[in-house]
Structure 1
Amino acid sequence: MIKDSAPDTMAAKYGWHSYQMMPIESGLINHTYKVVTPSGKFILQQVNTNVFKQPLVIDANMRLLKHQLKTSHPDYLFVAPIAGMDANTLYEVNSQYFRAFEFIEGSHTMSTVNTPEQAFEAAKAFATFTAVCNGMDATALQETLPNFHNLPLRYQQFEAALHSANEERLTTCKTLIEDLQSQEAIVTIYETFIAHPDALKRVTHHDTKISNVLFNDAHKALCVIDLDTVMPGYFISDIGDMMRTYVCPVSEEESDLSKIIVRKDYLQAIQEGYYSHMEQHLTDFEKAHFFFAGEVLIYMQALRFCTDYLQNDVYYPIKYPHHNLVRATNQMQLLLALQQTLANSNY
């Protein structure tokens, strides 16, 4: 949480002579606050350096993106950190890093996807962001989370955990382990995909949950936010994460596997929303792997939860014993549901 004199220090950096600060609880990674001042409303955010080890890299990426979009698409709503009195956009105070954003009036976020229309709007928003960045050299951006969506590495980590885990945990998730191993072909297909010349690296968000979209009062998407994970990547990352978090009516926390289904209309809405701005930019090879993206991200998350369980829960916070096992089993069930849906449909 924010420490000591940091609020007053940051207020001085931005020239806020008086202010009221209220925490915003929706964020999972960074600590975020709404700041009300006589000159306007702002968002103040403390970067979580346990997750993002190099805040200066994020700041450099944001400056580069802002310059690119101001030049090529000046009408696009890009919520970038604002400059303080000395023109800096990131500040270190008491070994913590802070930045501020303008508060977008008439906007809101949502935590769950409850209609196909919301899925469509969110997919369109992420597609619009990648499309307006299409003329940019994605490799000019630095990786803020190295190997974040590196599926082959995640499988290697899973295999390593199998050799180091204690017998009790190996026995408890024996069936899950066998199920995950039976899907190893996804890794091979993914490796073939990224090696293909028509699998293009683009400016990719990498964290496309619905809460990273700003909506207006008419429930239309305004823009995407929380851009710390923006870096070079494949379209599979964004599409797969949308499928993983939009198509099922329950979250990865659900233990009742009977509730884990794939809503076909939401799946279709993701494709239609994304294609509305990105269809012309995707290669035929990428389009042929559109729904495979869901398999990649769901499988990768199942591997990560299972790996963490086998390593005695060192990464993901847990609320009860076997929490990560429940999460991994949930994602494995979602993967099977998606595969069955794709096999029985004309996708």
Structure 2
Amino acid sequence: MESEQRPNERTVSQLGEFGLIRRVTAQGTGSTNTLLGPGDDAAVLAAPDGRVVATTDVLVQDVHFRLDWSSPHQVGRKAVAVNLSDVAAMGAVPTGLLVGLGCASDAPTELVDGLASGMREEAGLVGTDVVGGDMVTSTTLTISVTALGDLQGRAPVTRGGARPGDVVAVAGRLGWAAAGWAVLARGFRSPLAVVGAHRVPEPPYSAGPLAADAGATAMIDVSDGLLADLGHIAEASGVAIDLHSDRIGVPQRLSEVASALGANPWRWVLTGGEDQALVASFPHDAVLPPGWQPIGAVTEGSGVTVDGSEYAEETGWQHWTG
């Protein structure tokens, strides 16, 4: 990662590893789950349920984010959000975050401060903290976040529990982040609503535990695209899923952006990732929690269809393809 150092601006090499760690882990929310916070060999978190939900995501510069498109603060928020949404998708609530950061020795401390402030802001939305981590030298800015969570007595909602007859429902936005990426890729910086959706996702964190309490049989967050991620549920559950396009719809704002770009907004909605929405299956007689919208049904068979037909294009993002 190349950086332009300003006069009198400190770099991470001048600050040192432990000074850097202190900057990233400082000024947390004071979560009640943190029994021993940063500063020792490891943190100690309460696990009232007796089980710990754990997930990790790695974000690499120019693969998952671009610093000419997003500020360090926005990147920090996104790095945390993509992990917290995984915790929510299990029906759990977050209890702590561990951060691994690789950056160049001449990276300005301003970069790290921005990442850290964004991480703290996003973590604060769910009342949790960055409780520890590690810093290393790297030529490519790389952020690894591990999120821990508590099920609070619930059974984990996995990908493998969907049954024929279940209702498929979604909580959160679909297609907005993909539309934002398309706008930025064309060299534009507006409209801010869709560009902002790419920079910082807005996962419906509380919707995950609510779905679990309502009897959700399977759940996943939409990180790679609605069709691709529902495909994981269909495969794990040994079922088919059919989406009803009239139940999903395309927001007018996305239609307007697509018209301006000559794009297909349905492709963003069905295959665009990174909105970190939640999609789940529920028993047909379940009362859907607030914020959940039915969009399809689970049937016998395999695969995912839209209005009974197979979607002809790529269904979502995959690494190491193309």
TM-score (norm 1): 0.33
More helix by share: 1
Which structure has more relative contact order (CA 8 Å, sep 6+)? It is: 2
